Amino acid sequence: MYSETESLGMGAVLNSRRGGNRERWSGWRLTNLGGGYRLAMEVIELRVIDQAKQLLEWNKEKLNRHAHFEIEELSPIFADEFIVLANGRRYEANHQNYFEFLNQFRSDIEAIEYVVQEYVCMDQTVVMPLVATVERPSGKRDVYEAILLVKFNDRKEIYHWQEVYIQT
């Protein structure tokens, strides 16, 4: 059905006569650009959605004042250098300065919850319209409506984080 040899240059994934699970497909290549291309893109989208869901779970676990958080925990998630765009402001980030930012950010957070309305994928990019609810130590709850765009590199690390949000 599909054979190995050609890559689409975006982490394309497929090369199985027997099928398989997403994890097995994640490093495979695609040659049949007919119906197989669509299936491969669906597999990529599932992987990207899984990464986005894991990112939000990690945020819920680590972005609160009680969590144990080490700088090394950023390495599997974020590229060594990456871009953060937040409401039109651009930041050149690396593990050190982002770790410092996150520690300051989480110092006033008791808990954070996300309700994602939808996951929209293009290649290794996911867009998530969502509502984030932040519970403060004082008991106050801040609610934000946001659109989050995250781009992953071939190593499944974030190299571009872009968000637009308003407090409601």
9 occurs within a structural domain: no
* Domain membership flag for residue 139: yes
The domain total for the chain is 1
Q: Which two tokens stand for residue 120?
A: 């929209």
Looking up tokens 């982002």 gives: 98
* pLDDT tens, residue by residue, 15-52: 333 344 333 333 344 444 555 666 777 788 899 999 99
Is 7 a member of any domain?
Answer: no
Indicate whether 34 belongs to any domain: yes
Q: pLDDT, tens digit, for every residue of 42-90?
A: 788 899 999 999 999 999 999 999 999 999 999 999 999 999 999 999 9
Domain harbouring 73, CATH code = 3.10.450.50
Domain boundaries, position 66: 22-167
Domain assignment present for residue 15? The answer is: no
Indicate whether this model's pTM tops 0.85.
no
